């Protein structure tokens, strides 16, 4: 997914008058040429606060755009499947869906490596997938089965993937922000050239711990990037009713900020790689992703009591991230309608298979209740309180 750095002089924006349903065979060879760079302009320019925003032109390759499409289609399909599973009472408790916001997950992933850390709040299903989580792990976790990423003990709000650098998955609004600064502190302490992306929402942007953590990150130049996924509603409260200043990218005051169109995966990618560069040199930066969620806050929220259905469908028509990438793919003749539809069908099948497999996964054993409460080992020959179980023996 690395950006190809050399510019191919022959490749520019191509305007095709022909309808996208028919494609001349010989032109299709261009789509598989993954080294060709396409330069795309983001839909909206970036707005900076105390920083010069990056350029609007983003370089990408056909391969990358295809992977964006596929990943976002997978995430969208997964969230819709989770919706039906919840209504079928296979998923209980809280289920916060990310559909509409997929561009943030996918664009961020494109700009960074697995050594960079991401930490987010409870709307974590798609970011988990982006970080290398499998569909089986996520569905099994949602249904409380043993094969889940947290062995069924975490649930929707507690997805973690240590190998992928994904630190969760947190239920309390805003509590993940100091944790993210701690991850950045650790990266600085160990002299790693990596950054931490700490995601939070517009609701959490009013939490005190955000500003406390921001102060510390700025004080010690920690490589922390705070990303506000502004979907304009903190559960049922619109942003203008909750925040005196809804310009979240400006609220860092002494910390530079950037406002990004969060429904445009390429803009997100550009902003994230810009932010990573900045954070490694100068310390924290705030990114505000202007995004939107189609579902309500969670499955128990219809999502229509505080906003109109017209608004939702309006955003879906004009700003949908998958549609945007689809148009780009068709415009640059990287794929045709049929191929894209095939990908969507394939993705749907993948999701259905994963759900079937997850349904077969067993529920955890009763003994799992007490496992992982404490870490076993290391310490003197210490026993449990009843002296029957040796916890650890010194070497």
Partner 1 sequence: MAAISQGIEATTALFLANSNKFLFSSCGSSLSEKKRNFFVVKSDGKSYSGLNQQQRRAQKVVTNAIATKKDKAPSSTASKPGHELLLFEALREGLEEEMDRDPCVCVMGEDVGHYGGSYKVTKGLAEKYGDLRVLDTPIAENSFTGMGIGAAMSGLRPIVEGMNMGFLLLAFNQISNNCGMLHYTSGGQFKIPIVIRGPGGVGRQLGAEHSQRLESYFQSIPGIQMVACSTAYNAKGLMKAAIRSENPVILFEHVLLYNLKERIPDEEYVLNLEEAEMVRPGEHVTILTYSRMRYHVMQAAKTLVNKGYDPEVIDIRSLKPFDLYTIGNSVKKTHRVLIVEECMRTGGIGASLTAAITENFHDYLDAPIVCLSSQDVPTPYSGTLEEWTVVQPAQIVAAVEQLCQLLR
Binding site for partner 1 (CB under 8 A): 117, 119, 148-155, 158, 160-162, 167-172, 175, 177-191, 208-209, 212-213, 215-216, 219-220, 371-375, 377-387, 391, 394-395
Instruction: Indicate the residue among 19 and 382 with the shorter CB distance to partner 1.
Output: 382
Work out how close the CB of 125 gets to partner 1 at its nearest, in angstroms, rounded to a whole number.
15
Work out how close the CB of 276 gets to partner 1 at its nearest, in angstroms, rounded to a whole number.
17
Distance from C-alpha of 352 to C-alpha of 136, rounded to nearest angstrom? 10
Instruction: Indicate the residue among 214 and 329 with the shorter CB distance to partner 1.
Output: 214
Within the chain, where are the H helices? 62-87, 102-111, 125-130, 135-142, 176-189, 208-219, 239-242, 265-282, 309-319, 321-331, 337-360
Instruction: Indicate the residue among 125 and 319 with the shorter CB distance to partner 1.
Output: 125
Interhelix angle 208-219/176-189, rounded to 10 degrees, is 10
Give the residue among 118, 105, 97 at the shortest CA–CA distance from 160.
118
10 Å Cβ neighbour count for 67?
16
- Report yes or no: 71 and 101 within 8 Å, Cβ to Cβ: no
Work out how close the CB of 190 gets to partner 1 at its nearest, in angstroms, rounded to a whole number.
4
User: Collapsing DSSP states into helix, strand and coil, what is residue 118?
Assistant: strand
Instruction: Indicate the residue among 27 and 219 with the shorter CB distance to partner 1.
Output: 219
Work out how close the CB of 64 gets to partner 1 at its nearest, in angstroms, rounded to a whole number.
29
- Report yes or no: 200 and 262 within 8 Å, Cβ to Cβ: no
- For 316, list phi and psi in degrees, rounded to 5: -60, -35
Work out how close the CB of 180 gets to partner 1 at its nearest, in angstroms, rounded to a whole number.
6
Instruction: Indicate the residue among 47 and 186 with the shorter CB distance to partner 1.
Output: 186
């Amino acid at each position: 997914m690395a950006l190809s750095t050399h510019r191919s002089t022959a490749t520019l924006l191509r305007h095709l008058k022909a309808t996208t349903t028919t494609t001349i065979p010989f032109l299709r060879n261009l789509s598989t040429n993954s080294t060709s760079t396409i330069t795309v302009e983001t839909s909206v320019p970036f707005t900076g606060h105390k920083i010069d925003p990056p350029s609007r032109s983003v370089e990408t390759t056909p391969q990358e755009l295809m992977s964006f499409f596929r990943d976002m289609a997978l995430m969208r399909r997964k969230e819709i499947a989770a919706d039906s599973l919840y209504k079928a009472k296979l998923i209980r408790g809280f289920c916060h869906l990310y559909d509409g916001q997929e561009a943030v997950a996918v664009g961020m992933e494109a700009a960074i490596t697995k050594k960079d850390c991401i930490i987010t709040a409870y709307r974590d299903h798609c970011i988990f997938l982006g970080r290398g989580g499998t569909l089986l792990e996520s569905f099994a976790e949602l249904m409380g089965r043993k094969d889940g990423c947290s062995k069924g003990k975490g649930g929707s709000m507690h997805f973690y993937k240590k190998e992928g650098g994904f630190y969760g998955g947190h239920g309390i609004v805003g509590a993940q922000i100091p944790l993210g600064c701690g991850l950045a502190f650790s990266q600085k302490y160990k002299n790693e050239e990596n950054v931490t992306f700490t995601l939070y929402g517009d609701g959490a942007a009013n939490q005190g711990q955000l500003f406390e953590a921001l102060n510390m990150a700025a004080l010690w130049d920690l490589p922390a990037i705070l990303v506000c996924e502004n979907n304009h509603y903190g559960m049922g409260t619109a942003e203008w009713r909750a925040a005196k200043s809804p310009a979240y990218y400006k609220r860092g005051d002494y910390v530079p900020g950037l406002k990004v169109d969060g429904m445009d995966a390429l803009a997100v990618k550009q902003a994230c790689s810009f932010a990573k560069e900045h954070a490694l040199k100068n310390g924290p930066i705030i990114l505000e992703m202007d995004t939107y969620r189609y579902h309500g806050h969670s499955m128990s929220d219809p999502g229509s009591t505080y906003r109109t259905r017209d608004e939702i469908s309006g955003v879906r028509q004009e700003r949908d991230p998958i549609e945007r990438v689809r148009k780009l793919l068709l415009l640059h003749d990287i794929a045709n309608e049929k191929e894209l539809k095939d990908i969507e069908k394939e993705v749907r099948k993948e999701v259905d298979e994963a759900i079937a497999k997850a349904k077969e996964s067993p529920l955890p054993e009763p003994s799992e209740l007490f496992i992982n409460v404490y870490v076993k080992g290391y310490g003197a020959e210490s026993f449990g309180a009843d002296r029957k179980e040796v916890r650890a023996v010194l070497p």
